[in-house]
Amino acid sequence: MLIPKTEFIGLEEKTHLCAGGESPMLKSHRKAIEQFFTDKALGEASRERMEETVSRCKNKIGVLLGVPPENIAFISTSSEGINLLAHGLKWRSGDNVVVCDVEFPSDVLPWTRLKEQGVEVRIVSNQNWFISLSDLERALDDRTRVVAVSDVSYFTGQRLPLKELSEMVRSSNALLSLDSTHAAGVIPVQASYADILVASCYKWLLATHGVAIFYWNRERLPDLKPPFLGWHSGESIPDWREPTVFTPRSGADRFEVGNLGFISIYILDNALDHILRIGIPAIESHVLHLGGLVWDGLEELGFELMTPRDPSQRAGNICFMTPHISEIMTWLSERKILVWGAYAGVGRVRVSTHLYNSAEDVQRLLNALADLPPSPKGS
């Protein structure tokens, strides 16, 4: 493992294999929270301390995603970021948006509001749980405005080739809306391949709810305007004598309409110290190795795997289908093995390995699944 389990809260007696749903909290986050409480007690000076933390944290996000920090905004959720694009573009009747059938609802549902403006939402169907670039390409035409996908699927664990995806989308003059929630913090993500990128921070980035990343590709989308305005939208607060006159911020912080979730950003800032110190290449190598052990073990046990075996086509999630999800989740929970089966209605189980996991964790999972009563095994 790359970070000892002893540095996390609550992992002493658990096998935590569900970072794709919720990651555990670092014990050092307590110090970050205490610092926020201390800074908040400073009166007017408190805001300066908070803004310094925001700036420092954006610099780290810039390093993580390979883009200038001024192109990064902090928003409340990744869903908010998708909506910023959906409502910030100018649409014409006959335009279309391309999505996939195995995408997270946040990357699909915002576009359905555009149907009232005559915008079509085109759905690309998976083939045996796999989404191919060729199938995506066949859905594009000269009226495609946006392709909205995740570079790593929350549902199947498939990882799309980001560079090739970007080139394909841009060759059709469409925009790429990328959800990197299951990629950022575990595999390399070059944000500039996207036109906007969002990422939640409470999973692989080891932070918490209340803050998400929004990247704005200013070179590709220089005219994107915030659909909402607030006191933080301008370079300064308007003069009270002319309260409607303001100059919009030039950077991505124009999309931050009000005060941010500062306490969540303090936590994210601390989490990024750990991730960047270890480095994404080391995290990716570790996770892909453990994921390979999970994949091979599940195949041997006869489960229907959804995630590709090829390391270049996956990241931290290994997913499988079963008609016995309730029994499996109960069986594992009784043995203090945590995986993610929140979508019980469809029978998908997700196993996620991260930097605090070890080969022993994987073997514990596989041993428990091997000991299942006969009926829940396989499909």
* Rounded Cα distance, 318 and 157, in Å: 6
Phi then psi for residue 241, to 5 deg, are -80, -20
Note whether 228 and 268 are same-domain residues.
Answer: yes
End residue of a domain, out of 277, 293, 326: 277
Tokens of 341: 């089966």
Note whether 250 and 322 are same-domain residues.
Answer: no
Note whether 126 and 251 are same-domain residues.
Answer: yes
Note whether 166 and 294 are same-domain residues.
Answer: no
Residue 306, domain CATH: 3.90.1150.10
**Does residue 11 sit in helix, strand or coil?**
coil
**Nearest CA to 295 among 190, 158, 187, 164?**
158
User: In the 8-state DSSP scheme, what is residue 103?
Assistant: S
378 within domain boundaries: no
Name the domain count of the chain. Answer: 2
End residue of a domain, out of 277, 297, 327: 277
Query: For residue 78, what are the domain limits?
Result: 29-277
pTM score: 0.95
Note whether 98 and 140 are within 8 A (CB): yes
Note whether 108 and 168 are same-domain residues.
Answer: yes
Residue 134, domain CATH: 3.40.640.10
Note whether 33 and 180 are same-domain residues.
Answer: yes
- For residue 342, what pLDDT is reported? 74
Note whether 203 and 242 are same-domain residues.
Answer: yes
List the chain pLDDT tens, one digit each, 379 residues: 999 999 999 999 999 999 999 999 999 999 999 999 999 999 999 999 999 999 999 999 999 999 999 999 999 999 999 999 999 999 999 999 999 999 999 999 999 999 999 999 999 999 999 999 999 999 999 999 999 999 999 999 999 999 999 999 999 999 999 999 999 999 999 999 999 999 999 999 999 999 999 999 999 999 999 999 998 998 998 888 998 888 999 999 999 999 999 999 999 999 999 999 999 999 999 999 999 999 999 999 999 999 999 999 999 999 999 999 999 999 999 999 999 997 646 799 999 999 999 999 999 999 999 999 876 555 4
Helix (H) and strand (E) counts in the chain: 10, 12
End-to-end CA separation in angstroms for the chain: 32
* Rounded Cα distance, 373 and 39, in Å: 55
Note whether 252 and 310 are same-domain residues.
Answer: no
Phi then psi for residue 338, to 5 deg, are -105, 115
Note whether 203 and 297 are same-domain residues.
Answer: no
Note whether 117 and 80 are same-domain residues.
Answer: yes
